[in-house]
Structure 1
Amino acid sequence: MKVYPSGLSLAETAALLPDQPPYRARQVYEWFSKGIASFDAMTNLPQSLRERLSGLYGGQVRSSSIEKELIDEDGSLKLQIRLRDGAAVECVLLEDIEGRKTACLSSQVGCPMGCAFCKTGTLGFLRNLGPDEIIEQFHFLRDRRGFISNVVFMGMGEPLLNLENVRKAIVVLSSPEGIGMSLRKITISTSGIIPGILDIAQSGPKIRLAISLTSAEPNLRTRLMPVNKTWPLDELKSALLQFQQATRDRITLEVVLIGNMNASETDAEALAAWITPLKAQVNLIAWNPIQGMPFEQPSPRQMRIFSEILERKGIVTVQRMSRGRGVMGACGQLGDTLQTTNPPSA
């Protein structure tokens, strides 16, 4: 599909205008990076050039539109985005107690991973998002909440199965001529796609890496996360060690704790043993309720004891506060309003 302005790099923008001087391409790119809503807003460009650009895209700067906007009591914002082909995704803006705003962006329509505790996994997989469709989520959130300090690819989909387009989106996010976000403020969260992890280790970008681990017990992880059949825990750990050798970066391990399933002291001990000798921080996330799923939240006591066991082993551990639950925008809840919109692929 044609890439709309939000997803173009500076070089690609210049390629649209081969007869224009370099400074003009930079001007156009700066406007695209601001997430303008119309070509008429590009006020420092000649009218003829604005009309030319408008003609290339049928007068539409963006390929997608907002269909639904939901605001939680905690201030979290969830947007349902309708894409050009009628499919839909969701993205979320989270703000912490210190006022830092994080955009949680989707990379696919649906998700092929089928994690048992995640609503998105029940939708099936339709297609990858283009870089423009990814960046437009960022612009929609920024339009409503202003400056965004962090981006996490933790929305709908598995980012490392759409690595080419995610990479292009990161180029746009981090371009000093445009949005200018530091790569250290961008995180890719993966269920453990080993080829993608090794690709990033070798070729970049130098973003932060998070792994959805959930359990260090092989059979239980396979039950909860089918990815473990293809890329099991021992191979995943080997890939993460290679990643750290190449990048020298600490990895975040995301552990969704489910009551009476993976939240016992034995589970914590097994996780601590698996982590060694990785340089990692563990984010403990209480499972967020999803209607129709046969799971339960861990108790505060289970969360505390699990955390204390890891900390005694010298592992940096953070208990993440779930935000956005009221609008089904917390971890694992995205796609709740899309079940009849994006039917699973055959």
Structure 2
Amino acid sequence: MKQDIRTYSPAQLTEWFKQNGEPAFRAKQVQEWLWKKAARSFGQMSNLGLPLREKLDAHFAINALTVATEQRSNDGTIKSSFKLYDGNLVEGVLIPALRTDDQDRMTACVSSQVGCSLTCKFCATGYMDRKRNLTAAEIVDQVVEIDRQAKETYSSPLTNIVYMGMGEPLLNYKNVLESVDRITSPDGLGMSPKRITISTAGIAKMIRQLGDDGVKTNLALSLHAANDQKRDQIMPINESNSLANLADALNYFYRKTGTRVTFEYIVFYHFNDTIQDAKELFEFTKKVPAKVNIIEYNPIAEANFKNTDPQTLDKFAGYLDDRGVTVNIRRSRGKDIDAACGQLAGKEKAQIK
């Protein structure tokens, strides 16, 4: 099988051109076609001579993903099932703004793995096996396709990207960071890193690594409970990454980058929605400079959790707000097409709407 040319670094590609008797500057032209213009074939590279395009095609592949199915929600959300070169499926979501004061906001939610190994009890992806990591190119391809959808459907380009789809981004660290580099580079898609959020279930060692690497993206922690006993029940990763360890790692990240963390907190009915739970969350926010996103739960067939009632949700958020915590309540988007938070599962049975 021919190797995907997009796995070559700029230096490696330049060296290949030299070894094959081609001018080194051609490597930069090819890189621009691959990462800035999102070329899907060597035939598209019109400023290269035909013999060179044929030589590239003989040696390399461009393993671009394709849109297998596309579903449109009543609220404007678009979920895509992307087919990878090896037949595996991942899902990505376009989330347009609802608020009248933020009409230009277009968010892409992208996946980083085929499946997931963390087995979070409330997440559909957690009930899948992890088959493999996505390459940096496969992550960038999702962004390119969702950007195309945004332009075609809403006449607006993407403004934000969240790594909150299938998989744990920090367990695919190298490829995730390379994809961020490609997305933010002037030689790539040219987006600001402050428009990108990497979300993690909580891998303390890799959170520290983000700090050491000076990552400029935003960071979100899927918290969902602010005491270890409850978090152990729904997120087995907490058994090896306790809240104390996470607090230390997040503070290290903050000291290195100056970026305040976001805590993502799903409020489950009769599990983590009491004032005592809110108090524990408030105490945890005092350990780490953070804001809180409270998220509605989106039911899945594999679990029996329920979303809390509106009155309890308001009291929970009010407790934090009264104590000076920055709190946002995130309403579910795309629930009718299983595109909401925690519902992505790469289902081949998805129907085109």
Would you call these one fold, judging by a TM-score over 0.5?
yes
State, as a whole percentage, how many aligned pairs show the same letter: 37
Q: How does 1:1-346 map to 2 (within 5 A)?
A: 4-5=4-5, 9-18=9-18, 19-33=21-35, 34-58=37-61, 61-97=62-98, 98-146=103-151, 147-335=157-345, 337=347
- Please report how far the alpha carbon of residue 95 of structure 1 lies from its aligned counterpart in structure 2 after TM superposition: 1.2
| Amino acid in structure 1 at the alignment position of 2:63 | R
Q: State which drifts further: 128-137 or 183-192.
A: 128-137
Structure 2 contact 17–24 (Cα < 8 Å) conserved: no
Q: State which drifts further: 131-140 or 162-171.
A: 131-140
- Please report how far the alpha carbon of residue 45 of structure 1 lies from its aligned counterpart in structure 2 after TM superposition: 2.1
| Amino acid in structure 2 at the alignment position of 1:115 | C
**Any idea what the Cα deviations from partners look like across 1:78-107, whole Å, max 9, x if unmatched?**
111222222211111111132211111111
Give the number of aligned pairs. 338
- Please report how far the alpha carbon of residue 62 of structure 1 lies from its aligned counterpart in structure 2 after TM superposition: 3.1
Structure 2 contact 201–221 (Cα < 8 Å) conserved: yes
TM-score w.r.t. the length of structure 2 is 0.90
Structure 1 contact 65–81 (Cα < 8 Å) conserved: yes
Q: State which drifts further: 215-224 or 35-44.
A: 35-44
Q: State which drifts further: 35-44 or 242-251.
A: 35-44
- Please report how far the alpha carbon of residue 275 of structure 1 lies from its aligned counterpart in structure 2 after TM superposition: 1.3
Structure 1 contact 4–63 (Cα < 8 Å) conserved: no
CA distance 1:36–1:233, shift in 2 (3 Å): same
**Any idea what the Cα deviations from partners look like across 1:285-333, whole Å, max 9, x if unmatched?**
0101212421111112122111111111111000112112121111000
- Please report how far the alpha carbon of residue 338 of structure 1 lies from its aligned counterpart in structure 2 after TM superposition: 5.2
CA distance 1:255–1:266, shift in 2 (3 Å): same
Q: State which drifts further: 81-90 or 19-28.
A: 19-28
CA distance 1:23–1:250, shift in 2 (3 Å): same
| Unpaired stretches in structure 2, ≥5 consecutive residues | 152-156
TM-score w.r.t. the length of structure 1 is 0.91
Structure 1 contact 8–132 (Cα < 8 Å) conserved: no
Q: State which drifts further: 64-73 or 18-27.
A: 18-27
Distance of 1:73 and 1:16 partners within structure 2 = 49
CA distance 1:305–1:155, shift in 2 (3 Å): same
